[in-house]
Amino acid sequence: MTDKKYESLKIENIVASGVIAESIDLVTLSEKVKNCELNKKRFPGAVYRIENPKIAALIFSTGKIVLTGIRDDKALKDGLAIVMKSVKGAGIETLKVPKVAITNMVCSYNLGKYINLNKVVITLNVENIEYEPEQFPGLVYRIKDPKIVVLIFSSGKIILTGGKNLEDIKRGLDVLEHKLESAL
């Protein structure tokens, strides 16, 4: 498989989560860190918006963190470094090495051709497909290995989610294209 095949594959969002401290005083954090908001009535954690790279960090009193809006590995590394520096700068003790890993990737892909979703459902006749056009215009296909959920639209546009790395996403795309060959 050449890289040309994956030319239209685009990372839309990466979510990473893990632990950066044993505990975090969210009131102190939100008072001392610019762009860090705490509204316990709306959300149990602090929301720290980073401008560059453009990432939102959800920080919890347990020391856990969820980073979203990430576009690549460098943005994850840079964003996490900014969060760690800000938390330490607020006088909060952190882990020497944060334990944060990618938990989900969302990618888009364009097959470049119209897809008859009704025909796909009938041809594949697989239990891991959901298609109810009255409720949602796309077909949902759950791939077991790698564990990827694919949204397929009649326009040929595809959303792949659930991968922990680009290799998972590409393998999921290969499985999908192999299945679609018999349906198109």
Could you report the per-residue pLDDT of 90-149, keeping only the tens digit for each?
999 999 999 999 999 999 999 988 999 998 888 876 778 999 999 999 999 999 999 999
Where is the domain boundary, 72, 103, 134?
103
Half-sphere exposure of 54 (CA within 13 A, CB side): 4
Residue 1 has pLDDT above 50, yes or no: no
**Residue type at 60 in one-letter notation:** F
Residue 167 has pLDDT above 50, yes or no: yes
* Alpha-carbon distances of 2 from 134, 150, 178, rounded to whole Å: 38, 21, 16
Q: Please tell me the total count of domains within the chain.
A: 2
Task: Specify the pTM.
Answer: 0.88
The span from the CA of 17 to the CA of 101, in Å, is: 6
CA torsion 154-139-1-103 (nearest 10°) is 130
Pair (168, 117) in one structural domain: yes
47 is written with which tokens?
């929301």
Residue 28, domain CATH: 3.30.310.10
Residue 2 has pLDDT above 60, yes or no: no
- CA angle at residue 55 from 15 to 84, to 5 degrees? 90
- Is residue 6 a part of any domain in this protein? no
The span from the CA of 165 to the CA of 105, in Å, is: 7
Helix residue ranges, H only, the chain: 26-32, 73-89, 117-124, 166-183
Where is the domain boundary, 79, 103, 127?
103
Give the pLDDT score at 183: 65
Pair (92, 129) in one structural domain: no
Q: What residue numbers bound the domain in which 140 lies? A: 111-183
Pair (22, 86) in one structural domain: yes
- Is residue 127 a part of any domain in this protein? yes
Pair (31, 96) in one structural domain: yes
Pair (97, 137) in one structural domain: no
C-beta of residue 30 within 8 angstroms of C-beta of residue 46: yes
C-beta of residue 80 within 8 angstroms of C-beta of residue 87: no
